[in-house]
Amino acid sequence: MRSPRVTIVVPVYNGAVYLGETLESLLTQSFTDFELLVINDGSTDASGDIVRSFKDDRIRMIVQENGGLCHALNRGIEEAKGSYIARNDQDDVSFPHRLERELKVMEDHPDAIGLFSYNTKFGSKHRWSNADKLTMVAGEIREYEPLKDGSLLGSTMFVRREALQSIHGFRQSYYPVDDWDLECRLAQAGKVLVLQEPLVAYRFQTSANTYRVFAEMQEKTRWTEDSYHRRVQGVPELTFDQFMMTQPQNGWSRLARRRIDTAKLQMRIAGQDYLDGQYLAAGLHLSAAVMLNPADMAGRLWRLLGGSSSEPA
């Protein structure tokens, strides 16, 4: 039996609330030659029943004991039959032409090993195109630069299977910034492209794990950058504990890091509030972000006024 061109890997852990919408967005893609590989990572809710409710022979579900997101993703890479692997998280929504667009870009660039796209964010009331940070240009393609671009949304990933296997997939020790660690290592393994148009809607929700681990996320973001530089220099990476011991420990340095990190958190909460229609709360958190890091906010405003955005229909 011929293997599908693409494997879509959907890691699931207690994702019943939004999983049906996510799967529907994938099963109605304009490109149809794929398998939809759901890794049910020990869910205790109705996630498995929701997957089974879709009567589509392209769906394959693997049920395993809970091992965490990275282990679920690596199981998907291991089990994938397609030449390309596309990732989609359990609560994000792919636009109908996503796979078609990503596959065409990769076929037009046979020297590239992977591709990511831009995304829009959405909550219960609104969408946002990230025009304050990104310039959306339909069809525009450029090469990924990890330290300039930072972490791109994992749910937009479209990578040759052998490339993911060659770098041994995701590393649990880098969670919750395992996405960026993988993207950095992938870019060092070969050419990775960025399609500067939104192909996925990223769901903002107050229950997201991001808020609970935000402080750890910032420290591990700095660790990921340090590891990237060390690989470039050909020297061994540090463990997280070793890296933390290299960080300035005087009061002013720690206060500066905390100020920048808190500004980022306030900005994210402001975005969540806006997307959910909580305008007063959004204004208060935005004001806090401005006071904590005015330079960053000025830059965002400049890009927003001078840039362009493209919202999906």
* Averaged pLDDT of the chain: 88
Instruction: With respect to residue 253, please indicate whether it lies within any of the assigned structural domains.
Output: yes
Instruction: With respect to residue 313, please indicate whether it lies within any of the assigned structural domains.
Output: no
Q: Are the beta carbons of 107 and 157 closer than 8 angstroms?
A: no
- In angstroms, the CA 183 to CA 152 distance is 8
Higher per-residue pLDDT: 208 or 198:
198
Clarify whether residues 198 and 213 are in a common domain: no
Q: Are the beta carbons of 218 and 240 closer than 8 angstroms?
A: no
Band of the pLDDT at 300, cuts 50, 70, 90? Answer: low
Instruction: With respect to residue 114, please indicate whether it lies within any of the assigned structural domains.
Output: yes
Higher per-residue pLDDT: 2 or 107:
107
Clarify whether residues 299 and 189 are in a common domain: no
pLDDT, average across residues 118-135: 72
Question: Given 203, 234, 249, which residue is the final one in a domain?
Answer: 203
Band of the pLDDT at 271, cuts 50, 70, 90? Answer: confident
Clarify whether residues 272 and 300 are in a common domain: yes
Domain containing residue 302: 209-306
Question: Given 203, 221, 253, which residue is the final one in a domain?
Answer: 203
Tokens of 152: 């791109």
pLDDT of residue 209: 65
Question: Given 203, 237, 255, which residue is the final one in a domain?
Answer: 203
Instruction: With respect to residue 1, please indicate whether it lies within any of the assigned structural domains.
Output: no
Give the range among 11-20, 125-134, 239-248, 290-299 with minimum mean pLDDT: 125-134
CB atoms within 10 A of CB 209: 11
Tokens of 29: 């893609």
Instruction: With respect to residue 311, please indicate whether it lies within any of the assigned structural domains.
Output: no
- In angstroms, the CA 51 to CA 61 distance is 8
pLDDT, average across residues 261-267: 75
Clarify whether residues 39 and 157 are in a common domain: yes
The CATH number covering residue 40 comes to 3.90.550.10
Clarify whether residues 27 and 170 are in a common domain: yes
- In angstroms, the CA 309 to CA 267 distance is 19
Is residue 210's pLDDT more than 70? no
Instruction: With respect to residue 21, please indicate whether it lies within any of the assigned structural domains.
Output: yes
Residue 128 β-bridge partners: 121
Q: Which of 105, 60, 108 is nearest to 82 (CA)?
A: 60
Give the range among 177-181, 183-187, 214-218 with minimum mean pLDDT: 214-218
% the chain with pLDDT above 90:
66
Domains: count for the chain: 2
Q: Which of 226, 140, 238 is nearest to 180 (CA)?
A: 226
Instruction: With respect to residue 301, please indicate whether it lies within any of the assigned structural domains.
Output: yes
Clarify whether residues 126 and 154 are in a common domain: yes
pLDDT, average across residues 214-241: 95
pLDDT of residue 311: 37
